[in-house]
A = this chain, B = another copy of it.
Amino acid sequence: MATIRERNKRLILKTACQVFADKGFAATKTSDIADKAGLPKANIYYYFKSKEALYRAVLESIIEPLLQAYTPFHREQEPARALEAYIKAKLRISREHADASKVFAHEIMHGAPHLSPQSLAQLKDEAEASVARIRQWIEEGRMAPVDPQHLMFTIWASTQTYADFDWQILQITGRKKLAAKDYDAAARLITDMVLKGCEVSPCEA
């Protein structure tokens, strides 16, 4: 059941996520968040200890989805399937968690000063595991000998860009908002490019 406490906390978190994504941590005023949420500023402080605590809560909310996205590297036996599923998962995050994703990007760009060491360690572990998996596939001759680290950098960048640089993408596409078919087009292009680059044949449907 949704207590008042839970409902308000959720409203504040959601609003804060939008504002932090839009302006960044330092440029965001707690009054911006309060106004947008339709609450007095003091109410924010009743539910969250400080602006920074609120920011950290937003930031940590994206960690679980990001970690989840790596599962194809653990489960899938086929390089093509794993890469395709990973790209799809990352694009889904850019779409469904666009704001939190942007907050995360902002954080990483500046050296992750607010991210907890635990989250950082988990993300690093998953990243390294995926690189190791790709390296293994290459040794087994199941994909072309691309540089596994740079491959991951390219996948991260090209999927993340749909959250981070959404404004730019809307400018160029002339859209007001990206729709399902835009994300599909992105998925097709990125997947196609990666699979051809790795010289693995795409899997059926």
Interface positions of A (Cβ within 8 A of B): 22-27, 102, 105-106, 108-112, 124, 127-128, 131, 146-147, 149-154, 156-158, 160-162, 164-165, 167-169, 171-173, 185-186, 188-190, 192-194, 196-197
Q: Per a CB cutoff under 8 Å, which of B108, B124, B161, B173 touches A156?
A: B161
Copies of this chain present in the complex amount to 2
A124 touches B154 (CB 8 A): no
Tell me the interface secondary structure of chain A in the complex. helix
Besides A26-B26, A102-B109, 13 more A-B contacts (Cβ < 8 Å) are A22-B111, A25-B27, A109-B165, A109-B167, A110-B167, A111-B167, A146-B192, A146-B193, A149-B172, A152-B172, A153-B158, A193-B193, A196-B197
